[in-house]
Amino acid sequence: MNYIKPSFTNIYLRFDAFIHDSFRRNWSKHYSFNQLKDAKPNYKNWKKLTRNEKKEIVSYWGIKDPKKSDFVTHEIMLNVHGKFDVRYCPEKIFRVYLDPGLSDRKIVSAWDDKNYFELHQPNLPFPKTILRNVNGYFLDSNYSHVQIDDAKNIILNNLPVIVKPSIDSGEGKNLKLISNKDEVDDIFNNYKKDYIIQELILQCDEFKKLSPKSVNAMRIVTAIVNGKAVLLSSALLCNTTDSIACNKNVSAGVGVVIIGIDENGKLDDVGYFENAKQIQTLPNGVKFGGIKVPSYKKVIELALKAHESMPMLGIIGWDITIDKDDNPIFIEWNLRGIGMYHSQLATGPLFGEYSQQFADISKKLIKNWKKK
């Protein structure tokens, strides 16, 4: 076996970082302008940022060579929430600098594989795993190798089940409910490798009332600050369609709704579609304001404790639901796409009381990036 020499490894890592940073820069610009285009039609008398407000944003976040896209987030939040707040994190600052800069790049990809969440955090309550496919090979719930015929029988004996990619499965991509033999055969025909099959979650009455077709999940965002895990944002994702994935969008204003959760576990009166359109009553007639999330304090305690054991991952977006017995179930964690824009729509500036600290980190990361 040929090994990469340490000197070449450093060159490779720098090149890899450069490629990813360039992609993030272009993607953040594209994403920001799409957000603006979708949000504008939902608000009359659209307000623009003043020159002084733009200067304040540039100074606060350490933006170099500011472009129009650097101000999109603040302009949207100004119109959505009715006032200017410099603490909102711009899309580019997060995607290009903070997101990759707060976590160890070398381990994020490996630790983002859903097939291994249970090994990384054995004390967290996850959905019951029926079967795993890792690099084309089948493993049972205890990570023991099984043959393909045995794999099929394991699935058939545990129907209905949920199948989803174990890597790169954002926004409910390729998540399916499997209920019969024909659908089991489809798994082996359509999913090539790297997926996980789990027991169907039966959600609590409060969540079922909101959206019975999908498993509604809380997006809990935590961060490491001075070695301790802190809560940044807490919101509920539910869906207005028949999709089984709560975070799946169909079009602007159709699909996922994000609703802020207060410190007592109660849902806010107003939620938001991805296009920033406000909603207070779901299509099924349910007013969600004031509904209380069962076991909410336990959810936060578990997330914070788990994150403190992984301080090399600076920021995590946890997807957590509540089952029929009011117990928390950790569906997954997100290390690269925490849904910052959605969280800021529903709960305000992502970093809250820690905003100045993260703005200072941003300035240092920008300065170091310029030296590459």
For the beta sheet containing 137-140, the strands, ordered from the edge strand earlier in sequence to the opposite edge, are: 145-146, 137-140, 129-134, 195-199, 161-165, 176-178
Is-contact 304 229, C-beta < 8 A?
Answer: yes
Q: Rounded mean pLDDT of 320-344?
A: 93
Q: For position 11, what pLDDT does the model report?
A: 47
pLDDT in tens, 169-227: 655 567 899 999 999 999 999 998 999 999 999 999 999 999 888 889 999 999 999 99
Per-residue pLDDT band for 2 (boundaries 50, 70, 90) equals very low
Between β-strands 145-146 and 217-225, what pairing exists: parallel, antiparallel or unpaired?
unpaired
Instruction: Please state, in angstroms and rounded to a whole number, the distance separating the CA atoms of residues 156 and 89.
Output: 47
Least confident of 60-74, 148-162, 247-261: 247-261
Q: Are 198 and 312 in contact (CB under 8 A)?
A: no
Q: Which residues contact 107 (CB under 8 A, 6 or more apart)?
A: 312, 313
142: number of Cβ within 10 Å: 7
Band of pLDDT at residue 301, cut at 50, 70 and 90: very high
The structure's pTM equals 0.90
